[in-house]
Amino acid sequence: MTTLIFIRHAQSEGNLKGICSGQIDFPLVEKGFAQAQKTADYLRAIYPITAVYTSDLCRTAQTAQPTAEAFGLVPIADPRFREVCVGEWDGQPWSLLKETYPEIHATWTNYIMDRNTPRPKGAECREEVLERVSAAIGDVIKACQGGCVAIFCHSRMIRVLADYWRQFDKELDEEMTQRKIKGFHSCSVTVAEYDDDGTFLRAPLCCYRSFLQENSNVVAPE
């Protein structure tokens, strides 16, 4: 079994300014660097990480760096772990998009991204994202079989994966429904377990980030 830990990047300049970041290469802000260090402290205390992967965008690379240093690892960048491409919305303020494209904004912000639903011009649909990310996951499992791998990536990308997993994991589906999980918060940790042949088994942890709270003790979540 291989354990994959998906961590959303820390707060970026795009997040702070309310911009639809997509695949634009925004760096972290000061708060984001502090969040990245807290994430590294948490992961070091809980998980025996054997490899670190990131998307090729700097906000994930910067978030991953403290964790990589904590485990003495060199991060491996893979563009297939990028955020969902938002096409012509890239770099636009969310407030303007809501005003200009109310129908698409409503479906997009509710993570309805199927092939046949309205989406920004040039944007990826859920099926396209799942195809590229699944291929990347398959390669990671082949390279790190039996290990515990940290993958620093993006909110909407993780949501696409989680929606796929919940078809096979009743407990995950119930948790996401009860907690009304939509987007995945900065530095949230989501864990998935895969068989050695690349088959998804279960997701024992979803969108966990209590370790970011002030004066929080680093303990394993229930």
| C-alpha–C-alpha distance, residues 209 and 22, integer Å | 22
Residue 217 has a pLDDT of 44
Residue 51 has a pLDDT of 98
Structural domain that includes position 191: 10-212
Residue 118 has a pLDDT of 85
On whether the CB atoms of residues 67 and 40 are closer than 8 A, the answer is yes
| C-alpha–C-alpha distance, residues 8 and 58, integer Å | 13
Residue 108 has a pLDDT of 79
Residue 2 lies in a domain: no
Residue 19 lies in a domain: yes
Residue 91 has a pLDDT of 84
DSSP letters for 158-175:
HHHHHHHHTTT-HHHHHH
**For the chain, how many structural domains are there in total?**
1
- pTM score, two decimals? 0.93
pLDDT averages per 10-residue partition of the chain, 222 residues = 97 87 88 96 96 96 97 97 90 85 82 82 91 97 97 95 95 94 92 95 95 59 38
Residue 217 lies in a domain: no
Residue 202 lies in a domain: yes
Which pair of structure tokens corresponds to residue 99?
A: 């005003």
Residue 3 lies in a domain: no
Residue 208 lies in a domain: yes
Residue 192 has a pLDDT of 98
Residue 86 has a pLDDT of 87
Residue that has been written with the tokens 């980030």 in this structure: 209
12: which strand partners? 28
Residue 214 has a pLDDT of 60
Residue 218 lies in a domain: no
Residue 92's CATH number: 3.40.50.1240
3-state secondary structure of 28: strand
Residue 151 lies in a domain: yes
Name the nearest CA neighbour of 26 among 91, 78, 89: 91
Residue 142 has a pLDDT of 96
